[in-house]
Amino acid sequence: MNKTYKIGFYTAISLVIANMIGTGVFTSLGFQLFDIHSVFSILILWLLGGVISFCGALVYGELGIAIPRSGGEYVYLSKLIHPGVGFLSGWVSSTVGFAAPVALASMALGTYINKIVPQIHISVFAIAVVIVITLIHTWHLKVGSEFQKALTLLKVLVIIGFIVAGFVHTPQHQISIAPQTGSFDEICSAGFWVSLIYVSYAYSGWNAASYLVGEMENPQKNLPKALLLGTLVVTIIYVLLNFIFLYSAPIDELKGVLEIGHVSASHIFGHTIGQFMSIIIAFLLLSSISAMIMAGPRIIKSMGEDLPILSLLAKTNKNNVPYVAVITQSLITIVLIVTAQFEAVLTFVGFSLSIFTFLTVSSVFILRHKKIPTQGYKTWGYPITPIVFLLLNAFTIYFVFTQKPTESLLGLLNLAIGAIIYVIGKRLKFKKKDICCVK
């Protein structure tokens, strides 16, 4: 019998980086500039987003080693708090948590291509991309891993090249990263903290490697290293990239603009080459699409293993790939692309996922209380780092709930539907396979 393939450190870190670097960093700066006008404040905003993510990654490393099963929050919450809480987390992630961002990234890629070749239909192109990458990830874990590593390496190299070219470029406007009059007032303003919500979305994905810990080689070493180094690399890239955006083009040209990368590239390389570079940047979304199609279905698979009513979703092929789960997630993605409802879904998904991320990080205190062994790795800075994450995350949840009540209530409605499914499944007897609460 062939030895089961395990993903290594480079695949794990590529999942983290690829999941994190998506549409957010190339689209959100223009809207942040409505409320924040200081380069210093913008860079602090993106640095703070990295600090929050890093604190979360520290905790997930400990949880993943203590509970080395694929599925991320679903597994941790089921084990440490209650299977019902874990199921609701998995329900949000498996229904739209991964499918909506994949749909958004695919449509963004299709939009860029349509601008160059108008004959190409945006939705058809987006669906074709999803189908091709789905086929790759339903075939063999090794093939999907190599594909993911190659795309992520290309993404990082292109972005580094873009940053270097930006520094070489001589801007036609004045710019300073030093604090200006009012910079600290901006940091304390409501607009700054509103922008942090969108920055947090851009950083989402720092926990990606935890979804495949059960299929990882030497997870005790590779999981925390992938989470922490991946988050650190992306934080550096995000801060530098946003500086280059501000360094290359005047703020007035960037304010309110969705395609920030295109504007910046046009200033750095000229209009023609800049347009070509913006297409290359768009194709980097393939890495993000691939990473989410690879990671998300592991939650669906774990749910299928535990709940008889969803057992079909746990089926694997001869290469031990959960092909039914992969196909299921991609079908949901295609439905969102066809109905064009994914953008509306993203807000309430972000609200719901923030709740479960909050609960997951807080569960490290339960882990410590129950003295579950973590084979040497402990959260650095405990309990300060988890508390920092929880406080900032709680503020985000509160703000979204008070300022976006409709989307928040939709998120709670989706949770209610998940709760009904869980109750039905429980009546069919929840399997007791490594998922009951720790005694």
Name the residue range of residue 292's domain.
9-427
Q: Is residue 432 part of a domain?
A: no
Tens of pLDDT, residues 224-249? 999 999 999 999 999 999 999 999 98
Structure tokens at 326: 């992969």
Q: Which residue intervals of 307-404 are DSSP H helices? A: 323-339, 342-369, 384-403
Evaluate whether residue 230 is within a structural domain: yes
**What percent of the chain is modeled with pLDDT above 70?**
94
Residue 176 exposed, middle or buried by CB count within 10 Å (0-12, 13-18, 19+): exposed
What is the CATH number for 318? 1.20.1740.10
For residue 203, tell me if it sits in a domain.
yes
Q: What is the average per-residue pLDDT within 185-198?
A: 80
**Total number of domains in the chain:** 1
- The CA distance from 175 to 249, in Å, is 10
Q: Name the residue with tokens 């997870």.
A: 219
Is 437 inside any structural domain? Answer: no
Q: Which residues contact 51 (CB under 8 A, 6 or more apart)?
A: 235, 388
pLDDT at 437 over 50: no
Q: Note whether residue 4 is domain-resident.
A: no
Task: Judge whether 439 lies within some domain.
Answer: no
Residue 433 in this model has a pLDDT that exceeds 50: no
Q: What is the DSSP letter of 314?
A: G
User: Taking 90 as the threshold, does the pLDDT of residue 427 lie above it?
Assistant: no
Which three-class secondary structure state does DSSP give residue 8?
A: coil
131 C-beta neighbours (distance < 10 Å), count: 14
pLDDT at 3: 63
Nearest to 284, CA basis, from 114, 150, 132: 150
pTM, two decimals, is 0.83
User: pLDDT digit string (tens) for 47-63?
Assistant: 999 999 999 999 999 99
With CA atoms as reference, report the closest residue to 18 among 149, 213, 139: 149
Q: What is residue 228's predicted lDDT score, i.e. its pLDDT?
A: 95
Distance CA 145, CA 150 (A): 9
Place of tokens 């380069």: 39
Q: Report whether 65 contacts 296 (CB < 8 A).
A: no
Amino acid at 389: F
**Per-residue pLDDT averaged across 287-314, rounded?**
87
Tell me: the pLDDT tens digits for 240-284?
Answer: 999 999 999 898 888 887 778 878 888 888 877 777 776 777 778
CB of 152 within 8 A of CB of 14? yes
Contacts of 258-262 with CB under 8 Å at 24 or more apart are: 258/27, 258/30, 259/26, 259/27, 260/26, 260/27, 260/28, 260/29, 260/30, 261/26
Q: Is residue 303 over pLDDT 90?
A: no
- Is position 436 within any domain? no
Name which of 231, 238, 191 is nearest 46 in CA terms.
238
Mean residue pLDDT of the chain comes to 86
In a domain, 434, yes or no: no
- Tokens linked to 157: 């190299």
Give the model confidence (pLDDT) of 342-392 as tens digits: 556 667 777 888 899 999 999 999 999 988 877 778 999 999 999 999 998
